[in-house]
Chains A and B, each alone.
Chain A
């Protein structure tokens, strides 16, 4: 992990200072101070990120990797500088291993198509888990349909943890790829990715981790995890929307064909053939989301400044508090009770549909997500059509969790 001296010194996180960095939090919604508890869907941006994007457009914008002029050079420096920041943030071995994408979804689709179509065949298996977000299910279903491979799903138990014994059993001679979430978006479960990677490595099976819900909340070191691919999104880690990252082990990326063709991903083009660009640009056809990358670089600087261990500690105590106060609400059942959880609480209220809960707490200024959270198989497992989900970030407070619990009492009153 990138050791930022400032972060090491900063033993405790000052909540008021941190909240002051997020302009959007300081507003009223339906006459009440906004309590934003929908961070797993999309987090908010600190002023530092907004300013970085604004500064880029105000001062430095031109196309990257193309011009000899000054602005093009500045844009390229900012764009590639952001890549280096991300590389350091997740401790990848080289900038060549950091591919910009539109987000986690595009990163997984890139691997499914580029790697999958050249490595999967009839009867091969892709092993995923029951806990996946649709973004780590559907791209594999598509490539399975294209290649004749088969999607195999590791079941989970009733606390929302994957069954490691089942995983080991399903990891067979035909398994060509293992893909799973680092942290479940719907339940918050932190998956035992080290065990999974170790088991897969013992059989020489590559592993893709969907890190969309992990990167914003804990220190991630891709070399330590020893995974082959790691996908995540800017907007969940306090950066812009429309930018994300695929980390790929250099040896894997090097032998994968380009996914999309166009400008920037080539060295030379003639009608007889094309010489592809080097890594990582081989996978970055067309003018990229330069401002998004710059903003994501600023988000990385911001998180480094606070320190990921401070963030993890802060969120662990928020989760403990919120779990305690929500459990006191009569008729409330928490879905997903794994011992290792990120600060996500999925719940149902007896006899009341989550959609109604969402509307009523919104009236109290509280933003939560309701629905299937793009994880319909999880809902099916627990026999519920949907849940309500409160998901916390380091800028949330215990008082906001208390307000949610109070609002849920009102919900019950309304439907009593």
Chain B
């Protein structure tokens, strides 16, 4: 295992300068995510208009993997429909936990494909998936979610 597969440049960059690291004023959907194992806490905000995600943002603290995942997620979600966002949740789940990555699939995920190295680090999968669970919960405007 090469550490650079996990901490790819794009991940280090998004950790250092997280995009959309802010609140969204109401009307908004939002949810809290918490990983009790490492203390990561994220808050995800979504503004949805005409079934499309107009804006996505997050706040919180976490390791490089969880912050970079959340940062890239907010970039990727903008302009997507709710159905597309839920589909993306499933695809990310497959990317992080699946047996093998499909090259076409990787290409279609853009920067998010950088997270494919996480699957080799089972203890870190929850770091990368926390924001996605939180996003799903925000879409449903549910209560705080936990990855435990």
Q: Could you tell me which A residues sit within 8 Å of B by CB distance?
A: 30, 352-356, 359-360, 363, 370-372, 376, 379, 385-386, 414-415
> B1 near A353 (CB under 8 angstroms)?
no
26 cross-chain CB contacts under 8 A: A30-B1, A353-B61, A353-B62, A354-B38, A354-B63, A355-B62, A355-B63, A355-B65, A355-B127, A356-B7, A356-B63, A359-B6, A359-B123, A360-B3, A360-B7, A371-B39, A372-B39, A376-B39, A385-B39, A385-B41, A385-B61, A386-B39, A414-B7, A414-B12, A415-B16, A415-B64
Size category, B interface: 20 to 34
B55-69 CB contacts (< 8 Å) to partner A = 61-65, 67
- A355 and B15 in contact (CB under 8 A), knowing A360-B3, A385-B61, A415-B64? no
Alpha-carbon distance A415/B92, docked complex (angstroms): 25
Alpha-carbon distance A360/B6, docked complex (angstroms): 10
Q: Is B52 an interface residue when CB atoms closer than 8 A count as contact?
A: no
Chain B hits for A356, CB < 8 A = 7, 63-65
Chain A hits for B38, CB < 8 A = 353-355, 370-372, 385-386
Name the 7 nearest CB pairs between A and B, nearest first: A385-B39, A353-B63, A355-B63, A386-B39, A355-B38, A356-B64, A356-B63
Alpha-carbon distance A372/B38, docked complex (angstroms): 7
Nearest to A376 among chain B residues (CB) is: B39
Chain B hits for A415, CB < 8 A = 12, 15-16, 64
B104-123 CB contacts (< 8 Å) to partner A = 121, 123
> B3 near A355 (CB under 8 angstroms)?
no
> A371 near B37 (CB under 8 angstroms)?
yes
Chain A hits for B67, CB < 8 A = 353
Chain B hits for A414, CB < 8 A = 3, 7, 12
Alpha-carbon distance A415/B41, docked complex (angstroms): 21
Alpha-carbon distance A96/B62, docked complex (angstroms): 49
Alpha-carbon distance A379/B1, docked complex (angstroms): 32
Q: Is B82 an interface residue when CB atoms closer than 8 A count as contact?
A: no
Nearest to A31 among chain B residues (CB) is: B1
Alpha-carbon distance A385/B41, docked complex (angstroms): 9
Which residue of A30, A355, A370, A414 has the most chain B CB atoms within 10 A of its CB atom?
Answer: A355
B134 to A: closest C-beta gap in Å: 16
Q: Could you tell me which B residues sit within 8 Å of A by CB distance?
A: 1, 3, 6-7, 12, 15-16, 37-41, 61-65, 67, 121, 123-124, 127
Alpha-carbon distance A30/B3, docked complex (angstroms): 11
Nearest to A355 among chain B residues (CB) is: B63
4 extra interface residue pairs, beta carbon distance < 8 Å, beyond A355-B63, A355-B65: A352-B64, A354-B63, A372-B39, A385-B40
- A355 and B124 in contact (CB under 8 A), knowing A370-B38, A372-B39? yes
Alpha-carbon distance A30/B6, docked complex (angstroms): 15
Nearest to A353 among chain B residues (CB) is: B63
Chain A hits for B121, CB < 8 A = 359
> A353 near B64 (CB under 8 angstroms)?
yes
| Other-chain residue from A363, A385, A386 in contact with B3 (beta carbon distance below 8 A) | A363
- A379 and B6 in contact (CB under 8 A), knowing A359-B121, A385-B61? no
Chain B hits for A379, CB < 8 A = 39
